[in-house]
Copies of this chain bind each other. A is one copy, B any other.
């Protein structure tokens, strides 16, 4: 089972999408890149058999495997897989903060000890995640920091996730959030990391999540690992 210190120590997480294809050879290179963990998920309409196939492939490597399942039905129940489940701090609807979790509970889900809550702060209004979660992305710097503050100090969640999905975020905002961290909660950053320069800019402040680029430019991806 993962512990909080391990999560906080990660520099780089690779996000794999079950709906995109990667060769076995490519996957081996990713696994050997020095990335600290693999997060599987990220699309809304996940094909469960593809999800299962991908998780099983990744489990052959000696690396922590995290799932971000969009619903309990999408969970692939395997030893050693943790579930990283978002709550969207800046959603305009309670559904994305607490409501969908109640549906999980009502579905009979019981494996809460495998769940790591992620406090998402969604910051690109044009992203599909912003639309899907009804996120209010029109936030001042102070409001972004305050959401991170509440997530770590009031709710005491293990992870704050600055989600700029589809665009590269503002490093000074990520830096301000980083300065506000309490030393217990981990800070994740995702969005628009496609080369080493951008990776290093955000890795200064947060664990970086890198995904899309690996399907388009594997060599570029390999350069994003700090």
List residues of chain A with CB under 8 Å of any chain B CB.
Answer: 85, 87, 89, 91-94, 97-98, 101-106, 112, 115, 117, 142-143, 145-147, 149-150, 153-157
Contact B156 A98 (CB under 8 A): no
Inter-chain contacts of A150 with B (CB < 8 A): 98, 101-102, 104-105
Q: Smallest distance from the beta carbon of A38 to chain B beta carbons, Å?
A: 23
On whether A142 and B106 interact (CB within 8 A), knowing A94-B91, A154-B117, the answer reads yes
Contact B154 A101 (CB under 8 A): yes
Q: Smallest distance from the beta carbon of A15 to chain B beta carbons, Å?
A: 22
Q: Smallest distance from the beta carbon of A91 to chain B beta carbons, Å?
A: 6
Inter-chain contacts of A98 with B (CB < 8 A): 89, 97, 147, 150, 155
- With beta carbons under 8 angstroms apart, the residue of B91, B112, B149 that contacts A153 is B112
Q: Smallest distance from the beta carbon of A101 to chain B beta carbons, Å?
A: 4
22 sample A-B contacts, Cβ–Cβ < 8 Å, listed by A number: A85-B154, A87-B154, A87-B155, A91-B94, A92-B94, A94-B94, A94-B97, A98-B150, A101-B154, A102-B143, A102-B146, A102-B150, A104-B154, A105-B154, A106-B142, A106-B143, A106-B146, A112-B153, A112-B154, A115-B154, A117-B155, A156-B156
A147 (CB) vs chain B CBs: closest residue: B102
- How distant is the Cα of A104 from the Cα of B106 in the complex, in angstroms? 32
